Amino acid sequence: MTLGSKIKQLRKQAGLTQSELAGRLGISPSAVGMYEQDRREPDSRILSKLCGIFGVSGDYFIGSEKAVSESSVEVSEVFDEFTRRLTSEEGLMFDGVPLNSEDRMKIIDAIRVVAAIAQQQHRRKIEGGV
């Protein structure tokens, strides 16, 4: 399986269009199309982003057929770690302005809302409702 076909397969499994994937990668939809057609290869920065988006290891793209990383973790674990760090990290700033505890809680609450929506959509997709 070529690199391009792996990208295309993962994109389709994730239910993303080329435009949606391009938006997440910060590139043009035509670049995604060229990657999928093996007319161009993504650089290491884009490959790293693809691994993050699709939850695969770099090995998957460079040869190994195993898609899920050995170090796969649940989003909730990542969120819990992010929450711990956001609440305890000293000197955090947003656009050069120090974050107070209220600002930190607003960020955490916003992520909780988005995560709940994403989880609900994921469940519907799995159940065949979408």
d(CA 32, CA 127): 29
Handedness of CA 65, 66, 71, 77 (dihedral sign): positive
More confident residue, 102 or 128: 102
- Residue 22: per-residue pLDDT: 95
- Residue 72: per-residue pLDDT: 59
CATH fold group of domain 3-62? 434 Repressor (Amino-terminal Domain) (1.10.260)
- What number is the average pLDDT over the span 75-88? 79
The pLDDT confidence band at residue 69, using thresholds 50, 70 and 90, is very low
**What residue type is assigned to position 91 of the chain?**
G
The pLDDT confidence band at residue 62, using thresholds 50, 70 and 90, is confident
- Residue 25: per-residue pLDDT: 94
Give the domain ranges of the chain: 3-62, 75-126
Tell me the residue ranges of DSSP E strands in 1-130. 93-94, 97-98
- What number is the average pLDDT over the span 26-49? 93
d(CA 49, CA 44): 9
- Residue 120: per-residue pLDDT: 83
